Structure formats: C-alpha cells, structure tokens
Chains A and B, each alone.
Chain A
Amino acid sequence: MKEEKLFAENSPISSNRRWGMVIDLDRCTGCQACVVACHAENNVPVVGEAEAAYGRWMHWIHIERYWEGEYPNIKARFMPVLCQQCDEAPCEPVCPVFATYHTDEGLNAQIYNRCIGTRYCGSACPYKVRTFNWFDPEFPEPLKEQLNPNVTVRTRGIMEKCTFCIQRIRQVEEGAKMADRVLEDGEIQPACAQSCPPGAIVFGNLEDEDSLASKLASSRRSFRLLDELGTGPAVIYLKGGETNV
C-alpha cells in the first residue's frame, strides 16, 4: 500500500460536516438529565462537597439558571451551557502543545494525553466550560466498572471539556463508512441529546441544510451565546417563551 493511500484513509472522515447542537430553551426544563448522562458517558468524576463549593465541579454540561424580576413577578430561565465548539475558538491558539485544536468537522478537540495543564485554554474560554482535573479522579471499587471504555479516564493536571461525544460520532461515522452508506440525520446522538426528556437538545450537521438541527437553527428564535465576541459557537440556542410562528 502506498503511503499517500494510508494517510488518505486515516484522515478525518470528511470535511463537509460541521457538527452543531440546537438547544430549545422553550423545551428545557432544567431537569439535569443531560448532566448525569454526560457524567456516565464521559467518565466525568465527582469531586465532593468541599471541592464543588470551591468552584471545582467538573460537569461538562451544566444548567445555568437566571432570575428575572422580583417576587411575586419573578421568572427563572434555564440555559444548558456546554463547550460551544466555536469556529474561532479562543481556547485553541493559546495552547502551547496543541492539546486543543480544531478538527475538520469543526470540533474543538481536546487531546488529554497531550495536555500539560497550563490552564490557558480555561482562562481564555469566555464561556468557562472547560474543567480541570485538580486531583486524580476517585472511583472506589467497584465504581470503576461503570467507566466507559471508549473514553479516556483523565488523570490529574489535565483540562477536559465537552467533546460532543466524539466517541459516539466516530463510532457511527466509521460504521457508516464500513457499511458504505451515507450518514443519516439524527443517527448520531450525544448522551445529553439522547437523554433529554423534553427533547430540547438536537444534534446534527449544520452544513447539511436538510438536517433537523439546521432547520431549527434557522428559526428566528435562534441566538448564540456571547455571539458578539465573534467566537462562532456551534451551539445554537432557541429563545424560550415564544413560538417559531
């Protein structure tokens, strides 16, 4: 086999994809199902009370709750915030060792075993969605058995963040490639989208105009978090409290 051939086969699956996520805030009920789904899928450790109180919790997706108004005319709104997988990600250029970089599918990949823990990406991220392994994670026996073998367990001193469940994306992509078929919309489901009871989270290819995610993203309710910073997030929120009509 020629070398070029080898490289071509191993190169990222295709670049006509831009994975994106649409989160309908009108459906989101703040139920936290996505949070546990993410913990289970991605071997995200728990840190304990004292650490969590000191801002060292490690949820890759967390639900921010905002208050509006005052009692009795008060409202609370929920916003699930995860890595926004920015097009122009502030975290990427600052990493001195390329532990965080941009994939051909538009994801901000994080390579755990390359990370040396400068935490620069964490400082640079305006969404503060990157979490750091302050200590080695603890999984007392036999809790280790729950760990997903498709996802690395991170050691101390490493940054981590939402990957859009890259292991699931790859699994489906490679499966489709082996079966020589085209990926269908909705075939890939990150753990959060899969679990979301009210169906607020939709994952899909934003480059494909026919994907459900693309269609939802073109809603007039759509907005992106801190869009004015020019980071170009791939997570698109749909404003709550109103219809598409």
Chain B
Amino acid sequence: MSEAIPLAGKGPAPEKSRTDSLPASLSNEYQDRLLLEAMKDWEINQAVLEPMSRTGPWFWVIVAVLAAIVAWGLYAWGYQIYWGFGVAGINRPVYWGFYIATFIFWVGISHAGTMISAVLRIFKVDWRRPITRGAEAMTAFALMMAGLFPLIHLGRVWKFYWMIPYPNNRFMWPNFQSPLMWDMIAIFTYLIGSSLYLYLAMIPDMAMARDNTVRWRYKLYRLMALGWRGTEAEWHKLHRALNIFSIIIIPVFLSVHSIVSWDFAVTLQPRWHSTIFAPYFVIGAIYSGLAALAAILVLVRWGMKLQNFLRMEHFNALGKVVMVAGLGWLYFWFAGLIVEWYGNEPVVMELLHEEFIGSLAPLFYLQMTCNVLPIFFLMFKKVRTTPVLLLTFAIMINIGMFIERVLIVIGDLQRNYLPFNWGTYRPTWVEISIVAMTFAGFSLLYILFSRIFPYVPVWEIKEGRLRYTLRRIGRLLIPTAAEIE
C-alpha cells in the first residue's frame, strides 16, 4: 500500500542553483565534504518528504510482524503479572536476569543518539547534520524501551507508583538512598530532555512539512510546528535553546549510565563492587549505541532510499567514532580486569574462572569476538564505507554488548561469597518474549517515526549549505565557511 504524501504545491519556482556554475572538481568536493548536492531547497524538501510516503507491501508486512511480536510480548507480560514472577527464569541467587541485562542494553543504545547529536553540535561538526534526527529518535525510543524494564521486572508492578515521590497522607516517601530511585530520576530526566531535544530540533522541519502537505499531515505538522514562521527571533531562540540543551544533556547522559552501573557497583556482590563500573558502562554504552546508530542508518538509507543524505562520509566518520569507542571500551575492560585479576580475591577469581574456562566461557568468548573483532576491521576505510560490512560489524558489536550485559548481570549473580548459595539461570519463554517485544517495539516506533516525521533535518542541511559559499577573489573561486551558529 503506497500512500503518496499529498503535497501542497510544487514549491517555489525553480531558481538557479548556486552550484550550477561550479567547475566539476569543486562540485565533487562540495558533494563529498559539504553535503551539498546540486539540489534546490524545494528539491531537498521533496527528497525528504517523499520517502515518508513510500510504504510498499514489505513495509506493511514488517509493521505487521513487529506489531505481532509486540502484542505477543504484551501477552507475556500480562501472563507474568497474572501468575507471578516465577514464570520468568529468575531464581535465587540470580534475582536479576534477562530483563535487567536488556534494560542496560537499551539505556546504552540510547546514549549514542544524544552523544552524537549534542557533542557534534557543540563542536560544530558538519557531517552530523543529516543524521542528528535519526540519532535523537533512537535515543528517545531506546529509552522508552529501557524505561519499560523497571516496570516489567517489578514483582508487583501495580504498585510501581510507590517509587514516585508524591505527597500522601501516610508520609511515605521513596528512599532516595536507593540507586533505583536515582535510576528512575535519571531516566525520566534523560527521557524528557532527549525528547524535548528531539522535538525542538524538529520544529522548523514541522513548519516546512506543514507548508508542503495537506490533510491529516498538515494538521499534525501545523500543531507541532507551534506556529513557526522562520523569523530571525525564532531562529535565534531555537539556536540558543539547542545550544543550552546540547550542553546540559551531556552530563545527564553521562549520569544515566553511571547510575545504571551504580545499581550494581554499590552492592557487595563480587565483581559488581567496582569503581570502574561507571566509566566502563558509559563507554560501553557509547560503543554499542554508536554501532546501533550506524546499523540503523544503513538500514534506513536502504529502506527509505536516502542515499542523497546519508552518504559514505557519514559512515566513514561514524565508523571511526565506533572504532574509537571500541578501543576505549577495550581499555576500560582491561583496566577493570587487570585489577580484579591482580587482586586475586577468591570469589572474583571464581567468577573470572567461570568466564574464562567455566560454564560462561562460550558466552564470554562470543562476546569478546563480537566486541573486539570489529574494532580491527573498522580501521579500514573500505570496511567503514561499505554499508553491508558496516552493518554486519555494527550488529556484531551489539550482540557482543548484549552478551556483555548478560554476563555482568546473570553471570556475576550466579556466584557469591557463600558457595552453598551459588546458582544457575535459564531464561523462559516469557522473558524471551518480553525482551523480543522491546526490540520489536523499538523497531516499530522507529519505522513509524521515519514515516511520519522528516527523518533528515532539512533545516540543518540548508543551514549547512548556507555556511559555504564561493568567493571570487581575483580569478579564483575560494570556498569559504561562515560562523552561523
């Protein structure tokens, strides 16, 4: 079923593109470095708006499958609520299992979006422009999925509101000493912050879409554009707001994963009780998040045919950042390991033994392969700029990072100071269904988002184009960049 976006009109009359008269060599350089196509503004608008209506049969099949998985997962959740938590595979001493591991995974994924968007925005890195919205949306949706898990893993989810500090006549307050409270506050802050950040940057595009669509889209975009007219004052405020957000969201995103790591690190559980956990978790999150972003961009580019906007240089740059994050992750992993190993504490050694040659060894080596191998391959530009390879390695990294979280949560809980109380863990269909539900849910939200909202931030691209002009000095044409932010 294909639904063409009804456009308001043909757009402004064709005008002569500024790059038309460029020599071929310079034109190429523009295209490669400056994201400039020989496209007119209205063509850009069209190029972004048009794929949103491109919903072929496969699109609906995918949506249906994802929706079915989500529905099944919701059933599984209802089943778990109705019968009790025992239908999940958690036991004593493995009180936390798949759910918490997936929770960390999604929090980790959510990191990259904001990080890439905010950090790059602050540093005024130009190649960020076409990918910021995709990244920010990933943050918001991954965080939504992550936010489900604190609810899913409650024994009595119907009492979840007791964690919310609301005034009540029993003077019952939540315990702000508990890392779970920090978690909740951090995640809510981050979710609100990143959603606003996503939305703010979308306002001018809403206005653009409003001006170019009719019917329900028009109504939606009109509502969301908040009456944006593109005046100087509006632009000024938008820029200021985005700058403030970019700066504020960075400590928030650092805090979120640090706090998630403190859920573990503040306990006395061997291997959890470690000072390196916070930075280790943060770098791991960035690593998996950036890889996830790369994978998503490859898929979206293919699905929505956005080759004009998502180009090799993005993958190249993203690949480099992933590689750097991977190296950082490896460094932190090793730094933690060497101290643990050198410390030679018996329980920790038991856990290390379990990972290296014990029952967790297959998972551990799979994890290490998935996490380390891509770092080396991503050193090659050929790999970084071949979407299929990049996609493969990005998915590998995410598999690796997911296993890493499983090893941290489940693997470490299986052993403790009293060998009498050691245990094992087997996930059940309920857990697998619910975990699958979040993956499907994320994909579904993302796919729908990409069809409802302009995936590529048009105004940012146009703004980028504005920065670059050609000045004729004498007989030379000199490309120049202006400070505009």
Q: Point out residues on A near B: beta carbons under 8 Å.
A: 51, 54-57, 64-66, 81, 90, 93-98, 114-120, 122-124, 126-128, 130-136, 155-159, 226, 229, 231
Q: Which residue from chain B places its CB closest to the CB of A136 in the assembled complex?
A: B84
A128 touching B93 in the complex, CB below 8 Å, given contacts A114-B162, A134-B84: yes
Query: Which of A118, A127, A135, A229 is most buried by chain B, counting CB atoms within 10 A of its CB?
Result: A118
Structural contact, B90 and A119, CB atoms closer than 8 A: yes
Chain B residues closer than 8 Å to A64, beta-carbon distance = 418, 420
B92 — which chain A residues lie within 8 A by C-beta? Answer: 55-57, 122, 128, 130-132
The answer to whether A135 touches B267 (Cβ under 8 A) is no
The answer on a CB contact under 8 Å between A94 and B95 is no
Residue B373 is within 8 A (CB to CB) of chain A in the complex: no
Distance in Å from the Cβ of A108 to the closest Cβ of chain B? 14
Q: Which residue of B lies closest to A157 (CB)?
A: B155
| Residues of chain B contacted by A226 (CB below 8 angstroms) | 417-418
Partner of B156, one of A57, A117, A128: A117
5 intermolecular pairs with C-beta atoms under 8 Å apart: A65-B420, A93-B177, A94-B177, A97-B163, A132-B85
Chain A residues, CB < 8 A from B93: 55, 122-123, 128
Q: Knowing A66-B420, A136-B84, say if A96 contacts B184 (CB, 8 Å).
A: yes
Q: A229–B417 Cα gap in the complex (Å)?
A: 10
Q: Which 5 A-B pairs have the closest CB atoms?
A: A117-B155, A157-B155, A134-B86, A156-B84, A135-B84
Contact A229/B268 with A66-B420, A96-B184, A116-B159 known, Cβ cut-off 8 Å: yes
How many residues from B make CB contacts under 8 Å with A? Answer: 44
Report whether B85 and A116 are in contact in the complex, using a CB–CB cutoff of 8 Å: no
Chain B residues with CB under 8 Å of A115's CB are 155-156
Within the assembled complex, what's the spacing in Å between the Cα atoms of A131 and B423? 14
> Which A residues are in CB contact (< 8 Å) with B413?
123
**Across the interface, which residues of A come within 8 angstroms of B83, CB to CB?**
135, 156
Question: When chains A and B are docked, how far (Å) is the Cα of A64 from the Cα of B84?
Answer: 28
Query: Of residues A81, A115, A128, which shows the largest number of chain B Cβ atoms within 10 Å of its Cβ?
Result: A128
Q: Is the CB of A96 within 8 A of B155?
A: no
A156 to B79 CA separation, bound complex (whole angstroms)? 13
> How far is it, in angstroms, between the C-alpha of A114 and the C-alpha of B88 when the chains are bound?
22
A118–B267 alpha-carbon span in the complex (Å) = 14
**B 245-294 contacts with A by CB, 8 A:** 263, 266-269
Q: Check B189 for interface membership: any CB of A closer than 8 A.
A: no
Q: Determine if B153 is an interface residue (Cβ-Cβ < 8 Å).
A: yes
Name the residue on A nearest B170 (C-beta): A114
How far is A208 from B93 in the complex, measured between Cα atoms in Å?
35
Residues of B within 8 A of A132 (CB): 85, 92, 95, 155
Say how far A124's CB is from chain B's closest CB, in angstroms: 4
Chain A residues closer than 8 Å to B160, beta-carbon distance: 116
Q: Does B174 contact A (CB under 8 A)?
A: yes
- B46 in the interface (beta carbon within 8 A): no
B96 near A157: Cβ-Cβ < 8 Å: no
What are the residues of chain B within 8 A of A65 when measuring CB–CB? 420
Most chain A beta-carbon contacts within 10 A, residue among B153, B178, B426:
B178
Q: Are B268 and A117 in contact (CB under 8 A)?
A: no
Residue of A66, A90, A156, A231 with most chain B CB atoms under a 10 A cut-off = A156
- Cβ–Cβ < 8 Å partners of B452 in chain A: none
**Most B Cβ at <10 Å: residue of A56, A64, A119, A226:** A119
- Nearest-Cβ distance from residue B181 to partner chain A, whole angstroms: 5
For the complex, give the distance between the alpha carbons of A127 and B92 in Å: 11
Determine whether the beta carbon of B95 is less than 8 Å from that of A119: yes
Contact of A135 among B86, B173, B181 (CB under 8 A): B86
Are B417 and A120 in contact, CB atoms less than 8 angstroms apart? no
| Residues of chain A contacted by B96 (CB below 8 angstroms) | 119, 123
The residue of chain B having its C-beta at the shortest distance from the C-beta of A230 within the complex is B268
Task: Determine if A128 and B418 form an interchain contact, defined as CB atoms under 8 angstroms apart.
Answer: yes
* B469 CB within 8 Å of chain A: no
* Chain A residues, Cβ within 8 Å of B416: 126, 128
Q: Give the shortest distance, in Å, between B419 (CB) and chain A (any CB).
A: 9
Chain A residue with minimal CB distance to B89?
A54
In B419-437, the 8 Å CB interface with A consists of 420-421, 423-424, 426
